[in-house]
């Protein structure tokens, strides 16, 4: 078996050592592809490389993207090939980031830190996660990981999901409408895939239905939120804060209003980062590679019609 890949030097060394009967061939992300570059598998990240169509025609039957979201991959090129992704592989890092953002909001960090003597000691106007309600838009691997940690803080956890499947966690309440989730939630985590159906899911109409003073956290994709509508909701105080790890576009250009808005906490799509993050991202591919060698069904298969 031959695996074509777009990974940087050294990134695949542990997997190459594990699969000594598999040939791994690094191919350019753009420009000419060597004439002898062909393979059964393409390992890539979900970015529309200019030479992707030609590369897929080099014998590729299975494509694996090293992320949960596949919205950057031109699905019209997939044809009848199988695609898998590293669904939920970043759940630990992202869920910890979400809890950090919620605690930062409730505990007024970093404003509570002292640089000079305060007017008074022993008291502050701080909130708590205890007794608050978390609304999860999406209950896949990431949403479930956030829910597990929120339940440990004695939060009420609501979740809206695409299917009627029950919650994988005891204590999570499944709601059937976005309106209900927004009306009841103090903290709202956007953890749904980016598809045509979820584009600007949070727009002026839906944001108006959110609980006054709500805190929105987006770790999914920037285009799930209408950023103009979000700005208006922040300016009038209806939304108290937006903690955004994903925005539209990425990278965000210099001078964009999101950099300077006092009620926005912005990070550069880094919530997934942690010491073992790359190992977690590659583990689903390695497991599936073993399944393919063993003639077993692959896991984490993407449904192109649902774009997820």
Catalytic center residues? 221, 250, 269
Give CA–CA dist 93/77, Å, rounded.
Answer: 31
Strand arrangement of the beta sheet that strand 82-85 belongs to? 23-26, 2-5, 41-44, 62-65, 82-85
3-state SS, residue 132: coil
Kind and range of the H or E run holding 98: helix 91-106
Closest CA to 196 of 224, 157, 164: 224
Contact 151, 169 (CB under 8 A): yes
Closest CA to 291 of 90, 75, 88, 82: 82
Strand arrangement of the beta sheet that strand 214-218 belongs to? 172-174, 156-160, 133-137, 187-190, 214-218, 239-244, 264-266
CA of 153: how far to CAs of 14, 96, 101, 283, in Å?
37, 13, 14, 30
Taking the C-alpha atoms of 117, 122, 123 and 126 in order, what is their torsion angle to the nearest 10 degrees? 90
β-bridge mates for residue 156, sequence order: 133
Give CA–CA dist 73/131, Å, rounded.
Answer: 41
**165-183 CB burial, b ≥16 within 10 A, e <16:** eebebeebebbeebeebbe
123 CB-contact burial (10 Å; exposed 0-12 / middle 13-18 / buried 19+): exposed
Q: How many CB atoms lie within 10 A of CB 295?
A: 6
């Amino acid at each position: 078996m031959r695996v074509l890949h777009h990974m940087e030097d050294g990134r695949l060394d542990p997997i190459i050592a594990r699969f000594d009967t598999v040939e791994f061939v690094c191919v350019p992300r753009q420009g000419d592809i060597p004439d002898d570059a062909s393979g059964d598998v393409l390992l890539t990240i979900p970015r529309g490389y200019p030479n992707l169509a030609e590369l897929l025609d080099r014998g590729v039957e299975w494509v694996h993207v090293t992320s949960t979201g596949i919205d950057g991959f031109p699905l019209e090129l997939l044809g009848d090939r199988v695609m898998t992704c590293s669904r939920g592989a970043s759940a630990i890092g992202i869920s910890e980031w979400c809890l950090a953002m919620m605690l930062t909001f409730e505990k007024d960090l970093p404003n509570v830190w002292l640089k000079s003597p305060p007017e008074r000691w022993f008291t502050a106007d701080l909130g708590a996660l205890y007794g608050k309600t978390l609304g999860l838009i999406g209950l896949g691997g990431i949403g479930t990981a956030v829910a597990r940690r929120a339940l440990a803080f004695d939060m009420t956890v609501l979740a809206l999901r695409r299917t009627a499947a029950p919650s994988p966690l005891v204590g999570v309440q499944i709601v059937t409408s976005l309106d209900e989730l927004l009306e009841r939630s103090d903290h709202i985590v956007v953890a749904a895939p980016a598809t045509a159906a979820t584009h600007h899911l949070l727009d002026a109409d839906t944001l108006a239905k959110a609980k006054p003073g709500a805190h929105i956290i987006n770790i999914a994709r920037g285009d799930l939120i209408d950023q103009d509508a979000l700005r208006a909701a922040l300016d009038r105080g209806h939304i108290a804060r937006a903690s955004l790890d994903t925005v539209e576009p990425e990278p965000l250009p210099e001078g964009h209003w999101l950099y300077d808005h006092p009620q926005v906490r912005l990070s550069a799509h880094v919530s997934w980062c942690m010491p073992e993050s790359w190992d977690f991202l590659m583990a689903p591919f390695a497991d599936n590679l073993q399944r393919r060698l063993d003639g077993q069904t692959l896991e984490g298969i993407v449904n192109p019609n649902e774009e997820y």
